[in-house]
């Protein structure tokens, strides 16, 4: 049975933890990770293994620094595995700290893997220039066994490559059969720490959402998807700014700390989801909720456009007036039967080399 080195963002981020949950449920193979055990979801799996320990990582860094050995230790380590699997949404972003030289160097980590690698569920961007995309295409995507994007925009940038595909987001394939789904008059607001230039206006708009739904008799939950990325700090800041104690006392706060089933049931027990986190919107659609997305980058807008979403979308870069929400906005739902089936295509090449669970 093939061993899989699993490259995924483990920081108890609900979206990425759902990726892991889906893959580990789908396949019998052992998946090896390099992370601290405390970062893993609480719902443990028998087939997740630890790739290495912190002592080995420390020794590797020392040897590299002293002897200028850049690749040897990685080669030795990677030869223990049969497949390298990269799973994540925003893996390929060109931000202010990462110039083209950074990405040229980073690309070597992919192209010198010495074992077959797969990239699933991702998108490209935001990015600043075409050369960034060309670096990805030449040095990362072209040398992969399979690349499956989750949006048409990313696919169109690379569709001339023979190994590029597109399918709906992986989380659309999640089995929610055990989630308790209600239509109670509740709203879950997914909150995150957005870029500093938009932060204060964003928090003010979340307060507007709170007041809007409180006035209409909804019970309100503010939900953090990832402590490490500042969601909890953002929620606490919003509550500090909320100047109406009668509302504040009624608000429920939920901090995701690795319990996937518990978090899914929070999402299931409502009528409306205000989604800043990308996967809050995907889960809302999957659970047949009304979603009101708050886009913080084009990735949310691109995916929603791909699935022909016609509901109201807010954008942190140019926020509309919350009070303009209508009854039609609060009742809009989208049939995603196609996306649920289409998401299975994310796995079509991996299914050929890994063993599926019964």
Q: Which domains, and CATH codes, for the chain?
A: 4-173+341-352 (3.40.50), 186-337 (3.40.50.2000)
Phi, psi of 231 (to 5 degrees): -60, -40
Q: Find where tokens 């509901």 sit.
A: 311
The residues facing 6 across adjacent strands are 85
pLDDT value at residue 207: 98
* pLDDT per residue as tens digits for the range 20-69: 999 999 999 999 888 777 788 887 678 998 765 556 656 666 665 665 54
343: Cβ–Cβ under 8 A, 6 or more apart, which residues?
A: 167, 168, 169, 170, 171, 172, 173
More confident residue, 44 or 140: 140
pLDDT tens by residue, 252-303: 999 999 999 999 999 999 999 999 999 999 999 999 999 999 999 999 999 9
Residue 289 phi, psi (nearest 5)? -95, 160
Q: Are 50 and 23 in contact (CB under 8 A)?
A: no
Backbone angles phi, psi at 252, to 5 degrees: -95, 140
**What's the pLDDT at 71?**
47
pLDDT digits over 147-184, tens only?
999 999 999 999 999 999 999 999 999 999 999 999 99
pLDDT single digits (tens) 297-350: 999 999 999 999 999 999 999 999 999 999 999 999 999 999 999 999 999 999
Low-confidence winner among 29-33, 213-217, 236-240 (lowest mean pLDDT) = 29-33
């Amino acid at each position: 049975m093939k061993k899989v080195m699993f490259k995924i963002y483990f920081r108890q981020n609900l979206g990425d933890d759902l990726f892991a949950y889906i893959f580990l449920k789908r396949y019998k193979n052992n998946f090896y990770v390099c992370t601290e055990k405390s970062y893993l979801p609480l719902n443990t799996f028998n087939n997740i293994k630890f790739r290495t320990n912190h002592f080995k990582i420390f020794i590797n860094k020392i040897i590299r620094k002293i002897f200028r050995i850049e690749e040897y230790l990685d080669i030795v380590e990677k030869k223990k595995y049969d497949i390298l699997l990269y799973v994540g949404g925003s893996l390929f972003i060109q931000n202010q700290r990462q110039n083209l030289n950074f990405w040229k160097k980073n690309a070597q980590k992919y192209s010198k893997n010495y074992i077959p690698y797969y990239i699933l569920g991702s998108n490209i961007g935001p990015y600043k220039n075409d050369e960034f995309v060309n670096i990805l295409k030449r040095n990362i995507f072209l040398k992969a066994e399979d690349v499956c994007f989750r949006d048409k925009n990313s696919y169109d940038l690379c569709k001339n490559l023979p190994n590029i595909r597109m399918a709906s987001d992986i989380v659309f394939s999640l089995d929610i059969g055990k989630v308790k789904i209600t239509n109670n008059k509740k709203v879950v607001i997914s909150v995150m720490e957005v870029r500093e230039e938009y932060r204060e206006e964003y928090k003010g708009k979340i307060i507007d959402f709170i007041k809007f739904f409180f006035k209409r008799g909804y019970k309100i939950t503010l939900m953090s998807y990832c402590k490490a990325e500042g969601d909890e700090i953002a929620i606490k800041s919003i509550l500090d700014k909320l100047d109406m104690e009668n509302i504040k006392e009624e608000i429920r706060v939920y901090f995701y700390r690795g319990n996937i089933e518990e978090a899914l049931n929070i999402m299931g027990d409502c009528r409306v989801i205000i989604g800043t986190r990308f996967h809050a919107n995907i889960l809302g659609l999957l659970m047949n909720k009304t979603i009101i997305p708050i886009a913080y980058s084009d990735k949310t807008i691109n995916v929603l456009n791909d699935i022909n979403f016609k509901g109201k979308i807010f954008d942190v870069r140019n926020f509309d007036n919350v009070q303009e929400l209508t009854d039609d906005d609060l009742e809009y739902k989208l049939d995603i039967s196609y996306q649920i089936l289409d998401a299975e295509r994310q796995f079509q090449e991996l299914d050929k080399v890994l063993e599926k669970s019964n």
